[in-house]
Chains A and B, each alone.
Chain A
Amino acid sequence: MIEGKYSDGQSSKLVPATLHLLRDWVEVRDAKNKILRRLALAQVTVTSRLGNTPRSIILGDATGSEPVAQFESDDNDGIDALFAVSGTASSLLHRLESHLGLIAGATVFTVAFVFWVVVYGVPNGATALAYSLPDELVSRTGSHTLDVLDATYLEPSELDESEQARIRAVLAPHVLKGPVTLHFRQWVPNALALPDGSIVFTDELIELADHDEELIAIAYHELGHVEHRHLLRRTLQGSVVTIFLFLLTGDVASSDLLVTAPAVLVDLAYSREFETEADRYALNAMTEAGIDPIHFRNIMQKLEDWYGDQAEGSSGMPAIFKYLNTHPQTDERIAMIEAYRG
């Protein structure tokens, strides 16, 4: 016998009642022992146990359109004993959820697994997929990205035709191969690589550079993004990580900072990794072309100074802010270049 409350499903009225199991029949009786409901055991559904929460015993078919009577009770042990649910899948879940050793193991396993997926699984999977796609498909993707950027951030270049032609000639032997094309625009000092092989230089960047070798360094960095299919990989990795965390926590819906922030942080970490990879590509390519990597260091320093002047005080930012950037810290990048030069 279990004590609890009975409701007929027609109204919100709850009646103190007891539930009895007599062979294959379930009976619900009120305080005066009058039978409120009697039905075959097979028609009864006992909801699974969950922590210490009260449980419903559904008296009838809950999938139909008719309201269904139910008996609810927080006597979880009593319900388990009466219906002999031990050994069923639902009682197994509760046993797992109360097993301290398993909880400890699950915690360690989960942390290790999430770490592995985020650091190795997703990047390696995305890389394999990105490289297995045919070149033609990759270069066709994002063919309108430049149009979208033109409509949003970028303005037409004001650089002389002759100067544009001269820069093209300088870069041609180094990077303008295959699908790679060079475009001039106005924005902040920056260069962009698009998945279809377009490389965009801004007038402001060209103005900042004192030597053509500095532009070659930047062009190699952007070519590194193109060659390594970074944009495609970041797209793949970003969406896979979002879906992964969504499935894991079942919680992406609540636009809750607590759940969306990790996905963003991971995406930014991937972005920084790609920048480092592109830097390394540029250093190797420059060495091969016989250009001193010092030029890469110099243009990085100029960019850093320019942006530093724009947002004074950014150098005083707490170190933790570096995890919020798409690019590694400039001093780290410069240190890498200097280490490379030996």
Chain B
Amino acid sequence: MSEGMTGTMGDSGDAIASGETRELPFEFRGDGAEYFKIWIVNILLTIVTLGIYSAWAKVRNNRYFYSNLYLDGESFRYLADPITILKSRIIAVVVFAAFIVLSELFPVAGLVLALALMAITPLLVVRSLAFNHRMSAYRNIQFRFDASYGEAVMALLVWPILGMLTAGILYPYAILKSSEFIVRNSSYGTAAFDFDAETWDYGRIVLIFLGVLIATFFLTVGLTLLGTGVGSALSPIIALSGYVLAGVYLTVMLTNVYYNSTSLQAHELAANLEVPGYLKVFVVNVILTVITLGLFLPFAKVRMAKYRADHTQFIAAGSLEEFAAAEKEQVGALGEELGEVFDFDVGAI
């Protein structure tokens, strides 16, 4: 089946057999102190310019994280133009403010607005993904994202709602569908990504996640019912630890399945995040950020980026030099900015 295809599209089985695959680690070379300086200047200028600079700040933040992420000796690029972001950001903030005020002051109108928002959410997510992919590049080849509204409605609304209506039984399938939607509609230049996971991959994760939550619940209730002073004092701490543990487990496992199921032609992605390691990074980040009233935030972001990069690999089957650029299409930033203020946050696994 590999006849007639370009070199990089060879059968992965052949590539492994001929020993051509290379496991390439991702590497994040950013530095907390260096990023802190960029971050604090961003904030200072944002204040001084009454928020206008926030668009430039976003570009510099993103550029820092993209440009410091290396694969095979080359780093990624974030290409967005601050002016484009500024225009969309102004519209997004106005819409968001109007939405909040209207929905809190007029609950019925708010309900209608919320439904309208739900209906356009898939569209905004598609536009946001398209913008972010288009603005991301590696080796001077840009990423792309292209999906129809119908597909987006199925992946982002219909399946999750069915998941809820079936008391969570269909939820693992809904997660599978949404990851599939994001990955299969993404491409690197002209090369499409593919996604190959099974429902049970998610079912297992969701069951263990629920198990941890339920165990936490019973432990907390049990301690409270015992009524001893120590037990009741401990129970909120145990509850918090249980929920954090469950949340970290979910993030770690979903990230692993996401990358391990993603391929780019014959090349594959892999991730091996671990709960104890991730938990350590996360807990230290939260504690130090709270103690420093937020000033640790840039260090926290760098630490997390390092951990994630250190546990993600690209398994290259052959050369990375033969990807072709696709024709560039113009993608506006409005979907992305509305998505930011309304906090959709899809695909940021």
CB distance from B37 to the nearest CB of A (A): 5
A265 (CB) vs chain B CBs: closest residue: B290
A317, B45: Cα distance in complex, Å: 41
CB distance from B240 to the nearest CB of A (A): 10
B341 contact from A9, A96, A246, A258, Cβ within 8 A: A246
CB-CB under 8 A from A7, the residues of chain B are 139-140
**A99-137, CB < 8 A from B:** 102-103, 106-107, 109-111, 113
Total number of A residues with any Cβ neighbor in B under 8 Å:
69
Cβ of A33 within 8 Å of any chain B Cβ, yes or no, is no
B97 (CB) vs chain A CBs: closest residue: A239
A250, B219: Cα distance in complex, Å: 39
A250, B54: Cα distance in complex, Å: 7
Cβ of A197 within 8 Å of any chain B Cβ, yes or no, is no
Cβ of A232 within 8 Å of any chain B Cβ, yes or no, is yes
Q: Are B286 and A243 in contact (CB under 8 A)?
A: no
Q: Known interface pairs A50-B64, A142-B106. Does A247 touch B46 (Cβ–Cβ under 8 Å)? A: yes
Q: Are B64 and A113 in contact (CB under 8 A)?
A: no
Q: Which of B13-21, B173-181, B228-236 contacts A (4 or more CB under 8 A)?
A: B228-236
Cβ of A144 within 8 Å of any chain B Cβ, yes or no, is yes
B232 (CB) vs chain A CBs: closest residue: A313
CB distance from A257 to the nearest CB of B (A): 7
CB-CB under 8 A from B138, the residues of chain A are 12
Chain B contact surface mostly: helix
Query: Scoring B residues 17 to 60 as 1 if CB is less than 8 Å from chain A, else 0, what string do you get?
Result: 00000000000001100111110111111110001001001101
A243, B97: Cα distance in complex, Å: 8
CB-CB under 8 A from A66, the residues of chain B are 328
Cβ of A262 within 8 Å of any chain B Cβ, yes or no, is yes
**A168-202, CB < 8 A from B:** 195
Cβ of A98 within 8 Å of any chain B Cβ, yes or no, is yes
A252, B58: Cα distance in complex, Å: 11
Cβ of B87 within 8 Å of any chain A Cβ, yes or no, is no
B47 (CB) vs chain A CBs: closest residue: A113
Cβ of B88 within 8 Å of any chain A Cβ, yes or no, is no
CB distance from B286 to the nearest CB of A (A): 7
Q: Which of B158-166, B270-278, B315-323 contacts A (4 or more CB under 8 A)?
A: B315-323
Q: Are B43 and A258 in contact (CB under 8 A)?
A: no
A93, B82: Cα distance in complex, Å: 14
Q: Known interface pairs A7-B139, A14-B74. Does A110 touch B44 (Cβ–Cβ under 8 Å)? A: yes
Report which residue of A13, A65, A70, A250 has the largest number of chain B beta carbons within 10 angstroms of its beta carbon. A250
Q: Are A111 and B63 in contact (CB under 8 A)?
A: no
Cβ of B105 within 8 Å of any chain A Cβ, yes or no, is yes
CB-CB under 8 A from B229, the residues of chain A are 316
A54, B341: Cα distance in complex, Å: 31
A89 (CB) vs chain B CBs: closest residue: B56
Q: Are A147 and B341 in contact (CB under 8 A)?
A: no
CB-CB under 8 A from B211, the residues of chain A are none
A56, B79: Cα distance in complex, Å: 10
Q: Are B321 and A12 in contact (CB under 8 A)?
A: yes
CB distance from B227 to the nearest CB of A (A): 6
Q: Known interface pairs A50-B64, A318-B233, A321-B236. Does A13 touch B321 (Cβ–Cβ under 8 Å)? A: yes
Q: Known interface pairs A56-B77, A247-B54, A252-B341. Does A97 touch B93 (Cβ–Cβ under 8 Å)? A: no
Cβ of A40 within 8 Å of any chain B Cβ, yes or no, is no
Cβ of B100 within 8 Å of any chain A Cβ, yes or no, is yes
Q: Are A258 and B300 in contact (CB under 8 A)?
A: yes
A109, B46: Cα distance in complex, Å: 12
Cβ of B265 within 8 Å of any chain A Cβ, yes or no, is no
**B264-317, CB < 8 A from A:** 285-286, 289, 293-295, 297, 300
Query: Which residues does A use to contact B, with CB under 8 Å?
Result: 7, 9-14, 50-54, 56, 62, 64-67, 69-70, 72, 93, 96-98, 102-103, 106-107, 109-111, 113, 141-145, 147-148, 195, 232, 235-236, 238-239, 242-243, 246-255, 257-259, 262, 311-313, 316-318, 321
Interface pairs (15), CB distance under 8 Å: A14-B74, A14-B140, A50-B64, A51-B38, A51-B64, A102-B41, A103-B37, A107-B40, A109-B47, A195-B105, A247-B51, A249-B297, A250-B42, A313-B227, A313-B231
Query: Which residues does B use to contact A, with CB under 8 Å?
Result: 30-31, 34-38, 40-47, 51, 54, 57-58, 60-61, 63-64, 67-68, 74-75, 77, 79, 93, 96-97, 100-101, 104-108, 111, 138-141, 189, 224, 227, 229, 231-233, 235-237, 285-286, 289, 293-295, 297, 300, 320-325, 327-330, 339-341, 343, 345, 348
